Amino acid sequence: MKFNKLSQLFLVSAIGLSVAALLTSCAINTIDYVFVADSAGSGSGSAGQIQTYDSDSGTGALRIGQPTVPSGGNNPVSMAVSGDYSNLYVVNQGSNNVVHFAVAGNGVLTQKDVVTTSATPVAVAVNTAETYLYVVSGPGPSVLTTYALSSGTIGSAVDQVTLSLAGVGYPDDTIVPTGVNVLTNNNAVYVTAYDQSAYNPGGTTTSSANPGWVFGYTVGTGGALTATANGPYKAGVKPVALVSDPTNRFVYVTDFASNELIGYTIQDSDDLVFLINGPFKTGNEPDAITIDPRGLYLYVSNGLDSTVSGFVISLATGTPSAAVSATGTQTNPTDTTPVAIVVDPSIGRFVYTANHEGNDLSGFVLNPNTGALTGTQSAPYPSGSQPTALAAVPHGNHAVQVVSP
C-alpha cells in the first residue's frame, strides 16, 4: 500500500499526538520527594545508597526520581530531615558515621560533610530550629551526643551523656539504644533503649531490672543535656521507636516484644507520665512509628505481620484509638517486613513503608477525615536491597501546608 506525502504527514502527526497523550497520562505531578536508604547489593559488606522517588500529588504513586547516590558508608539505618527540608542526615551503622547531604529544590542530593561516631550509631534526629543534631550510639558505651549545626553543616560535639540505669539501681547493666526523638519546640530529647542484661532472647540475663526504658533530657544553653527529674521511664520490654506529636504534648513508643503502643503525656518539666488507659494493642512486632502533620493520626508498621496499624489520636487526652479502614479492618497489608514508615509532609495525605525483606516500598492514601488507609496505585514500588529507612521532603515548588490541631 502506498501513501502520498500528505497521507504520510497525517499519519506521523496522528502517531505523535497519540504518543504525547500517552506520556501525559503517565506523567505525575510531583508533590514530595521520598528518600529510601538501602544497600546497593545483597552482600553484608555492600555499600549503602539513597534512592529518590517522586510522589504524585493525585494518587500517591511513586516513581524513581533523581539519580541514586551513595550513602557515604555501609548499612544505612536511620535518616532525618532538617526543618526547612534542605538537609538530610544519614546514619551508616556499618561505617560508624553520620553523613550530611544538601537537598536541592528538585530533589537532588549532594554529599557535604561527615562525622565519625565513638560507638555504633543507631538513630539520628535534628531539631526544628536546625541548631543541633542528636545521634544515639551504642552499646559499649551507649551515648546520646549533641552536635552543633551551622547552615546544615555538622560541627563539633557540644555535649554527650551516657545512657545508664545507675539512678534506678542497675549501674552495670548493658543498655542498647534503639531510637531518638526531639520535640518540635526544641526543649527536650527522648531516647528509647532496652536493658540487654534483663532482656536477652536466646542468651543469659543477669539483671532483674525492667527491660524497656525511655531516657529524657532537657536542652539547655549551648545544647547542654540535663536528665529529666523523674527519668528514665519504664517502657515495656523492648521499645524500638518513638515519636512526639506536633503540639509537644504526647510521646508514643512501640514495644516490639509486647506488641503494644505505649503513650505518655509530656509534663511542663518535660517529664513523662503514662497515658492512664494504655498501653494499646498493635500488630505483631511493631517497629517504626509516625504521626501525620496535623497530629490527628498515628501509624505503626508491624514487621512480623507485614501490616500498618492506624490510630486516631484524641486531641484532648492523647488516647490513640484504632482507625478502621473502608474494608472494616484495623490493619493494612504491606509487602514483607516493613521497618520504616513516613507520612508525606506536603499535604499529609500519603503514607509509605520501607519493606526490608520485600525489597520495596508500599504506599497508602490517607483519608483526612477518618485516618483510614487505602493502597496507592501500582504498589509496591521496587527499591534496592533491604531498605531500612525513609525520609520525605516537599517538592521545591510546593508550599508546605500549615496543619495544626
Which residues partner with 291 through β-bridges?
298
Q: Nearest Cα to 76, choosing from 383, 402, 308, 404?
A: 383
Query: Contact 180/136 with Cβ under 8 angstroms?
Result: yes
Asked if 217 and 227 touch (Cβ cutoff 8 Å), the reply is yes
Question: What confidence tens digit (pLDDT) does each residue in 317-345 have?
Answer: 999 999 877 666 678 999 999 999 999 99
Question: For 205-212, what is the mean pLDDT?
Answer: 98
Confidence of residue 8 (pLDDT cuts 50, 70, 90): very low
Confidence at residue 396, expressed as pLDDT on a 0 to 100 scale = 66
DSSP state of 11: H
At residue 256, the pLDDT reads 98
Residue 15 predicted with pLDDT over 50 = no
**pLDDT tens track for 157-199:** 999 999 999 999 999 999 999 999 999 999 999 999 999 999 9
CB burial of residue 271 (10 Å; 0-12, 13-18, 19+): middle
| pLDDT higher than 50, residue 399 | no
Higher pLDDT, 1 or 33: 33
Closest CA to 227 of 216, 240, 237, 211: 216
**Model-level pTM?**
0.91
Residue carrying the nine cell digits 504525547: 20
Where does 32-394 sit in CATH, by number? 2.130.10.10
Sheet with 132-137, side-by-side order of all strands: 121-126, 132-137, 143-150, 153-162
Which pLDDT band holds residue 347 (cuts at 50, 70, 90)? very high
Q: How many residues are given for the chain? A: 405
- Report domain extents, the chain: 32-394
Query: For position 30, what pLDDT does the model report?
Result: 86
| Separation CA 152–CA 111 (nearest Å) | 12
Mean pLDDT value across the chain = 91
Lowest model confidence (mean pLDDT) among 44-53, 277-286, 387-396: 44-53
Question: 363 with 60: CB under 8 angstroms?
Answer: yes
